[in-house]
Amino acid sequence: MLEAHISLIDKQITLKLYKDLILQLNKDFSLSGIDFNLSLNCKPNKLIKNLTMLFQNMIVKDYQKFNQLMYVLDIPENKLASLKERQLDVLIDRIIRLVLERVLQKVYLKQKFSNL
């Protein structure tokens, strides 16, 4: 019985973290002047697909705006520069990983220190 309650609490924490991740991404897109809004009901696989399409489009058509977004997201330039992939799809997968790690870090820290 105790395990079920702990599981329920863990699920709620994870759900809250995920929704806050979506909200933070939407905020960062807006701050970058990018008209791209993710639904709070967006499933993780749909999130990855949407980010893949967005980043692919930006890298090919508007690299300056892509760089601006990376700055707002606080992705270090040296981390981006260290990605030496020649295939665009592999490069985008690695960029998405960097973005999600950084945004989750921001969301986690905001949640952790907002209650102090």
Query: Tokens representing 97?
Result: 């990983």
Q: If you average pLDDT over every residue of the chain, what do you get?
A: 86
Lookup: tokens for 27: 């905020």
Residue 3 confidence (pLDDT): 65
pLDDT confidence of residue 76: 87
Residue predicted with more confidence, 77 or 56: 56
Buried b (16+ CB within 10 A) or exposed e, 105-114: ebbeeeeeee
Handedness of CA 72, 77, 83, 88 (dihedral sign): positive
Number of domains composing the chain: 1
Range of the domain at 79: 2-114
Q: Using the predicted structure, report yes or no on whether residue 99 has a pLDDT greater than 80.
A: yes
What pLDDT, in 10s, does the model give residues 23-54? Answer: 999 999 999 999 999 999 888 889 999 999 99
Average pLDDT over residues 63-87: 88
What pLDDT sits at residue 5? Answer: 45
Structure tokens at 110: 């905001």
pLDDT above 70 as % of the chain: 88
| Model pTM score | 0.84
